[in-house]
């Protein structure tokens, strides 16, 4: 047994011992422990060179009350569990770190020098301003429940963001690309070259005229529409939202969704995938919408109990300091049967959306607003001039219902980021093939 394995085993034994103190008659009782490191690296052609690291460890106990402690040693876990089991008990101050915290830190094999060399390897335009940013996430999680073996999960993820600016204004000549880097991936030179070329296409960007809302046909590039279903469908099917009657999607009088729409959420392929959730429940792919019919709700243990159902392995907390909520992992639209290139060819006039960010959903209304930061005009079935950024408004009963084409080119991890609920960020992913909505509302 290696030293790391020995430390992992000792940690699991400490959590199992403490978990036995929690009240077995409390269905939600558990002990959660995490060790986590977040690293952000940024380099640019302008001389920026920055690395930020944040490491934390902590535990949360749920019994007849909920408590947490920072940097606990093994004996602290016992005191924490006793105080959670008996609210009248006094939670003693932490004894202190036991010196094993770095056992879970393996590093991602990437350095600032690697990013700088990657930028130098590409023939950059003289006037180009290029910034590369990599965010790495490394989290070890243990979950103990009374009378059960301690569950363990190691969650790792890396996200690359490239920003290229060739113009004289904020938006002209600007392009951004994102990519999730798996553990064995190298930095992709092709993506950087594609982003530079896209920035060139946007140098002559024409400022928007208007303003005013208008209805247009929209084709979403592969990956982009995942953001739309994450906000409009995923959030509307979170167990607590449904229980509180705040989901327009689950009302009896809701208009059926398009038959060609199937939406899945799978935490196991998220940007920082989880095999178990923060309550120790195994995760699995969950079909939320099957050919236009709502077929599942995203549950943690608490929301599942209220619905007389079972947890779906989606109970997450932003950290040991937060409370468990039903959270989305990787939300995506399944492939359709339409050849993707034909979707643009069959569109007489509209917009081709390449990048969409900043979704804000209102589940009660079944609507959401987004900001489109990169798009082209469609004219007579061909891509025409690039468009400046613009807001869009999409709702379930009119706009999503106008879905009339789903492509065969499913793509993941474009327009990716963190999802925030109750102030708690969780790394998420989205996916989608090329799709077309017959109508959305845009501000131009």
Output the CA torsion sign for 208, 212, 215, 219: positive
pLDDT, position 108: 73
Range list of β-strands (E), 320-423 = 325-326, 330-333, 349-362, 367-379, 382-387, 390-395, 403-406, 411-412, 417-421
The CATH classification number of 3-201 equals 3.30.2290.10
pLDDT, position 102: 46
Q: Which helix (H) or strand (E) holds 319?
A: none
Residues of the chain with CATH 3.30.2290.10: 3-201
The answer to whether the CB of 319 falls within 8 A of the CB of 251 is no
Alpha helices in 260-336 (DSSP H): 301-306
Instruction: Write a three-state SS string for 10-41.
Output: HHHHHHHHHHCCCCCCCCCCEEEEEEEEEEEE
C-alpha dihedral (49, 52, 53, 59), degrees to nearest 10: -160
Per DSSP, 206 falls in state P
C-alpha dihedral (403, 407, 408, 413), degrees to nearest 10: -80
Distance CA 62, CA 29 (A): 5
Nearest C-alpha neighbor of 74 from the set 56, 63, 86, 59: 59
Question: Distance between terminal CA atoms of the chain?
Answer: 63
* Segment 121-127 long-range contacts (CB within 8 Å, at least 24 positions apart): 121/189, 122/189, 122/192, 122/193, 122/196, 124/45, 124/196, 125/166, 125/196, 125/200, 127/166
Distance CA 37, CA 138 (A): 5
Which tokens hold the place of 221?
Answer: 């590039």
Distance CA 433, CA 222 (A): 4
Per DSSP, 411 falls in state E
pLDDT, position 8: 85
Query: What DSSP string runs through 223-237?
Result: TTHHHHHIIIIIGGG
Distance CA 360, CA 332 (A): 18
- pLDDT (tens, 9 = 90+) of the chain, 444 residues, equals 787 788 888 899 999 999 999 999 999 999 999 999 999 999 999 899 999 999 999 999 999 999 999 989 889 999 999 999 998 888 777 766 555 554 455 567 789 999 999 999 888 888 899 999 999 999 999 999 999 999 999 999 999 999 999 987 777 899 999 999 987 788 998 999 999 999 999 998 877 666 789 999 999 999 999 999 999 999 999 999 999 999 988 887 766 799 999 999 999 998 889 999 999 999 999 999 999 999 999 999 999 999 999 999 999 999 999 999 999 999 999 999 999 999 999 999 999 999 998 888 898 889 999 999 999 999 999 999 999 999 999 998 899 999 999 999 999 988 777 899 999 999 999 999 999 999 999 987
Distance CA 252, CA 431 (A): 28
Distance CA 380, CA 382 (A): 6
The answer to whether the CB of 406 falls within 8 A of the CB of 203 is no
């Amino acid at each position: 047994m290696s030293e790391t394995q020995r430390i992992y085993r000792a940690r699991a034994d400490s959590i199992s011992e403490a978990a036995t103190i929690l009240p077995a008659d409390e269905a939600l009782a558990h002990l959660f422990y995490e060790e986590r490191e977040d690293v952000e690296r940024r380099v640019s052609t302008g001389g920026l060179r920055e690395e930020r690291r944040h490491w934390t460890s902590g535990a949360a106990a749920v019994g007849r009350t909920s408590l947490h402690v920072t940097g606990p040693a093994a004996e602290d876990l016992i005191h924490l569990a006793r105080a959670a089991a008996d609210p009248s008990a006094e939670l003693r101050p932490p004894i202190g770190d036991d010196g094993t915290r770095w056992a879970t830190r393996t590093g991602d094999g990437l350095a600032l020098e690697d990013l700088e060399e990657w930028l130098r390897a590409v023939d950059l335009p003289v006037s180009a301003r290029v910034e590369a940013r990599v965010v790495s996430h490394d989290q070890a999680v243990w979950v103990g429940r009374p009378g059960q073996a301690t569950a363990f999960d190691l969650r790792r993820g890396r996200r690359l963001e490239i920003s290229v600016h060739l113009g004289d204004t904020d938006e002209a000549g600007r392009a951004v690309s994102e990519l999730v880097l798996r553990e064995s991936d190298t930095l992709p030179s092709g993506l950087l070259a594609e982003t530079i070329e896209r920035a060139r296409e946007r140098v002559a960007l024409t400022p928007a005229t208007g303003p005013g809302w208008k209805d247009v046909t929209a084709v979403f590039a592969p990956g982009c529409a995942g953001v739309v279903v994450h906000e409009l469908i995923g959030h509307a099917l979170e167990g607590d939202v449904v229980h509180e009657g705040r989901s327009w999607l689950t009302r009896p009088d809701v208009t059926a969704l398009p038959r060609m729409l199937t939406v899945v959420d799978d935490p196991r392929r998220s940007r920082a995938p989880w095999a178990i959730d923060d309550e120790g429940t195994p995760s699995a792919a969950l079909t939320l919408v099957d050919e236009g019919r709502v077929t599942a709700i995203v549950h943690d243990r608490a929301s599942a109990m209220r619905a007389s159902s079972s947890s779906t392995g989606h109970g997450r907390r932003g950290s040991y300091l937060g409370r468990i909520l039903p959270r989305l992992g990787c939300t995506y639209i399944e492939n359709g049967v339409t050849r993707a290139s034909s979707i643009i060819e069959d569109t007489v006039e509209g917009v081709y959306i390449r990048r969409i960010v900043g979704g804000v959903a209102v589940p009660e209304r079944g609507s959401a607003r987004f900001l489109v930061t990169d798009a082209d005009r469609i004219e007579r079935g061909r891509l025409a001039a690039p468009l400046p950024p613009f807001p869009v408004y999409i709702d379930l009963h009119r706009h999503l219902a106008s879905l009339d084409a789903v492509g065969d080119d499913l793509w993941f991890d474009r327009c990716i980021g963190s999802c925030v609920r109750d102030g708690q960020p969780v790394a998420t992913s989205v996916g989608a093939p090329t799709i077309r909505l017959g109508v959305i509302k845009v501000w131009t």
